[in-house]
Amino acid sequence: MAKRIEVSDLNIYYGNFLAVEGVNVSIEPRSITALIGPSGCGKSTFLRSLNRMHEVIPGARVEGKVVMDGQDLYGSDTDPVDVRRQIGMVFQRPNPFPTMSIYDNVIAGNRLNSKKMKKSEADDLVERSLRGANLWNEVKDRLDRPGSGLSGGQQQRLCIARAIAVEPDVLLMDEPCSALDPISTLAIEDLMAELKDRFTIVIVTHNMQQAARVSTSTGFFNLNGVGQPGRLIEFNPTEKIFSNPDQKATEDYISGRFG
Amino acid sequence: MTATKAPTEPPKQRVVRRPGDRIFAGSAKGSGIFILLVLAGVAAFLISEAIPALTAPSEDIPGGEGLAGYVGPLILGTLLGAVLALLVATPLAVGIALYITYYAPRRVAAGMGYVIDLLAAIPSVVYGFWGLAVLAPTLVPFHVWAADHLSWIPFFAGPASASGRTMLTVGLVLAVMILPIISAIAREVFSQAPALHREAALALGATRWEMIKMAVLPYGKSGVIAGAMLGLGRALGETMAVAIVLSGGAGATLNLIGSSNPSTIASNIALRFPEATGLGVNVLIASGLVLFVITLAVNMLARWIVNRRADFSGAN
Ligand SMILES: Nc1ncnc2c1ncn2[C@@H]1O[C@H](COP(=O)(O)OP(=O)(O)O)[C@@H](O)[C@H]1O
Ligand SMILES: [Mg+2]
Task: For A204-256, write each residue's pLDDT tens digit.
Answer: 998 899 999 999 999 999 998 888 999 999 999 999 999 999 999 999 999 88
Residues of chain B with Cβ-Cβ distance to A56 below 8 Å are: 199, 202
Question: In chain A, what are the domain boundaries?
Answer: 5-98+170-254
- Does A148 sit within 8 Å of B199, measured CB to CB? no
Task: For A164-208, write each residue's pLDDT tens digit.
Answer: 999 999 999 999 998 888 888 888 899 899 889 889 999 999 889
Alpha carbon A34 to its chain's center:
10
Residue A229 in contact with residue A199, Cβ under 8 Å? no
* CB atoms inside a 10 Å sphere around CB A57: 14
Confidence at B316, pLDDT banded by 50, 70, 90: very low
Strand partners, A63: A11
Is residue B272 over pLDDT 80?
yes
CA A89 to ligand 2 center in whole angstroms:
13
Residue B218's closest chain A neighbor by CA? A99
DSSP 8-class letter at A39: T
Cα separation, A166 vs A105, in Å, equals 12
Of A11, A14, A233, the residue with max ligand 1 atoms within 8 A of its CB, to mutate for a pocket test, comes to: A14
Strand partners, A65: A8
**Beta strands A32-36 and A217-223: pairing type?**
parallel
User: Rounded to a whole number, what is the distance in Å from the CA of B226 to chain A's nearest CA?
Assistant: 18
Instruction: For chain B, give the percent of residues with pLDDT over 90.
Output: 59
Average pLDDT, chain B: 88
Is the minimum CB–CB distance between A51 and chain B shorter than 8 Å?
A: yes
Residue A195 in contact with residue A165, Cβ under 8 Å? no
Query: Which of B263, B84, B73, B264 lies closest to B178, judged by CA?
Result: B84
Q: A241: which residues sit within 8 A by CB, 6+ positions away?
A: A218, A220, A234, A250, A254
Q: Residue A36: CB within 6 Å of ligand 1?
A: no
User: Rounded to a whole number, what is the distance in Å from the CA of A46 to chain B's nearest CA?
Assistant: 15
Within A147-181, where are the H helices? 152-165
Strand partners, A5: A27, A68
Is the minimum CB–CB distance between A166 and chain B shorter than 8 Å?
A: yes
| H helix or E strand, kind and range, residue A7 | strand A5-14
Q: Residue A45: CB within 6 Å of ligand 1?
A: yes
Cα separation, B95 vs B187, in Å, equals 10
For B191-221, letters b (16+ CB in 10 Å) and e give: eebeebbbbbbbbbbbebebbbebbbbbbbb
Residue B18 domain flag: no
CA B42 to ligand 1 center in whole angstroms:
57
Q: B305: which residues sit within 8 A by CB, 6+ positions away?
A: B222, B225
Residue B316 domain flag: no
Task: For A121-140, write each residue's pLDDT tens digit.
Answer: 999 999 999 998 889 999 99
Cα separation, A123 vs A105, in Å, equals 13
Q: Is the dihedral of CA B142, B145, B149, B155 positive or negative?
A: positive
- Alpha carbons within 13 angstroms on the beta-carbon side of residue A164 total 28
What CATH fold (topology level) applies to the domain A5-98+170-254? Rossmann fold (3.40.50)
Is the minimum CB–CB distance between B204 and chain A shorter than 8 Å?
A: yes
Q: A139: which residues sit within 8 A by CB, 6+ positions away?
A: A102, A130, A150, A154, A158
Is residue B17 over pLDDT 80?
no
SS3 A122: helix
The pLDDT of residue A259: 45
The pLDDT of residue B8: 58
Residue B147 domain flag: yes
Residue B252: give its domain's CATH number: 1.10.3720.10
Residues of chain B with Cβ-Cβ distance to A48 below 8 Å are: none
Task: For B274-307, write each residue's pLDDT tens digit.
Answer: 988 888 899 999 999 999 999 989 888 888 877 7
Which of B204, B306, B312, B316 has the most A C-beta neighbours within 10 Å, making it the best mutation to test the interface with A?
B204
The bound ligand whose nearest atom lies closest to the alpha carbon of A43 is 1
- Does B313 sit within 8 Å of A99, measured CB to CB? yes
Number of domains in chain B: 1
Residues 113-132 of A with CB under 8 A from B: 113
Q: B179: which residues sit within 8 A by CB, 6+ positions away?
A: B89, B92, B93, B96, B116, B119, B231
Within chain B, where are the H helices? 19-55, 66-98, 106-121, 124-130, 136-149, 167-191, 195-203, 208-211, 217-237, 240-245, 265-272, 279-308
Query: Which of A32, A18, A41 lies closest to A258, judged by CA?
Result: A41
Q: Residue A43: CB within 6 Å of ligand 1?
A: yes
Is residue B258 over pLDDT 50?
yes
Is the minimum CB–CB distance between A57 and chain B shorter than 8 Å?
A: no
Q: Residue A19: CB within 6 Å of ligand 1?
A: yes
| Predicted complex ipTM | 0.92
Structure pTM?
0.83
Is the minimum CB–CB distance between B197 and chain A shorter than 8 Å?
A: yes
DSSP string, A172-235: EEESTTTTS-HHHHHHHHHHHHHHTTTSEEEEE-S-HHHHHHH-SEEEEEEESSTTSPEEEEEE
Give the structural domain span for B272. 31-308
Q: In what order do the strands lie in the sheet with A87-90?
A: A71-72, A60-68, A5-14, A17-27, A230-237, A217-223, A32-36, A200-204, A170-174, A87-90
Cα separation, B103 vs A173, in Å, equals 29
